Structure 1
């Protein structure tokens, strides 16, 4: 069935197929006590129905059922819906975006029954799960989704207090930290400080002795926050990040937690990639080693999305590698980015696809092998591709960064009319400066002038 269909376009017989599927999957959820293996087998056989239509049908179906069943049955049904929502938001098959929408629909149904007054604990639990789903949501605006997640976590914490529910409080604090780390609205520096504070609060309950796995997970998250930290000394922040990752790896071993081990190795690689202290060449070699270790677990077959992300990280490390042949390193980078794009497609992962296009464009701009003119054309094509996703309204900083790269490519373009290329370069740089203003981004603003004002003027003189 076409994903672009909506409920109004379906025949009654089609709607009945969806309704029957809902009955079956909720029954399976109840009978198996939420056994993921059982429910996922049924979902895997019906991925054509785990779509946006299901998200639209679910509340209508439940609303109709609730009018016909006794109160005790209502609570049981809602519990099944929450469990099903928990499962489908983590279901690895089908359309991830649609799965998230089905989960959100399920949680919202539950919150219409689980009120804060009558079911405070269930209400808080559902708010926490709703927050997690909004944080990972694909559809809708990223900024608005993260705000919705923060609101849900804050609501949960009005019930999940440190005194009454210390473990749930710590879990929600960890989740709140994740949301603040990803937050787009507000001051970035302050958001990261909020994330660090939330993780530190969680670690007052999540100790290594009492909750080793939760402690390791929070240490990993703390490492990410320190990697992204803006305030304080950057070099020291990265050392804090590396230390946190190594602490996590004392629990997340390859033998006992291979997936978490690979995730932390990937993060550790990123920290070494950005590390300021130590020798740059050695840090990059350590990053490449960690990324390659992560890929022994993050295979394309088993973890395609994580595999793609690590390929991008590996590509970045090769692009800036100091040791080894520079031309070969750049080829390795291009190969890694192109591998990532076999998973990060425009339709399935538009934002990740766009970022990978930028990385690919950067690699082609530095490429030594191949025809220089063709490399620059590939560079321009990649930046233009990224701009089909990165628009000024939704992604102003990424849009500006892409415009800057595009301007650089046109500045040195070999094919086409030189004057026209320079006009394109100037237009792209001027677009960049509408975001990279002197007040908002003083360093980027200054760098743009220093880097490109003289080359453009020299090119104009030579025409």
Structure 2
């Protein structure tokens, strides 16, 4: 056992060497951690900071677990349903989050955190990993009775971690540089706003050869395999992503030429079947297993600007989940940004551009993402157009940038907020180093 532990500590020091007291002492004075756990008869929440001698434990009533199970079953059923019901899922998302906040007693949990803590790290468990906990509504603990969401209560940022062990590992990685970008841009050539997104984002980084973008047909698995990722500080995938609920290890980022040819023999191990029409060759995709093998020693951030890249194997009762974010963390990145559902192309492009724009300022990754999300939620049509015009001048972009946005939101009045629904801004989470 000692030999095994020594081997694990050498190659993946997140298990036997983990010491909770040491981890807690390394927290700063302004950070709180909320870790969830689900037992056979209740929901448990552990709340701790550097100052708490023992974690504060919040326990639900047995009926709350029943309510959560029913809520979760309905949420997943509607999300996985056909296109008509998926609209219902999207339209009902705000109300569903209200219900979830009540079931989880989020107000009572947040009240246990002292006001000096302005940064929050959430460590979900099982099904809770699938949900945008950062967007849950709370009542202001100052007693004003004003409703806000968790992100607004913690102005230094809300982020996530798969576990305390992986968070500790991520925190040890010092990656100050942020000039070299590697990006995958629209390998399937069917995402309207992905090209716009990456074209703007690459303007924030050094010119080639420091920055390298694989565009559409060039973004093949062979091209990925040939890259030495150790030279890049940011890795950005703007493409399709799919999570396989039945076999999570077959989940993947879809690259160019991955569509299964009609003449190919069916092979359940080799292919990822999304529908009768959509079948992808996993040998032409970047799967979870292959992510674990990447070398990201210089990487500061991996951004997965794609659908369902933050979903995990929620049937696994282990604290360490199977999913793309943990794969990139283990591969060497201290932080990953990923999504919890099938996201909208335009809103994702706007959110990502604003996220990277925020990162030019001295702020954490989590805060940059949070502020971009709140901006997208609250931005009026006129504010979006003014922002696009300003960005066009700053980066010498084609006027097409503003015109494309204007075309998409033309049905809204100038004072309306077209992306106010959580569906448009709440899907993305910052995972790892805070």
Q: TM-score range by the shorter chain?
A: under 0.3
Structure (1 or 2) with the larger CA radius of gyration: 1
TM-score, reference length from structure 1: 0.26
TM-score normalised to the size of structure 2?
Answer: 0.27
Larger RCO (CA under 8 A, 6+ residues apart): 2
Greater percentage in strand: 2
| The structure with more helix, counted as a fraction of residues | 1
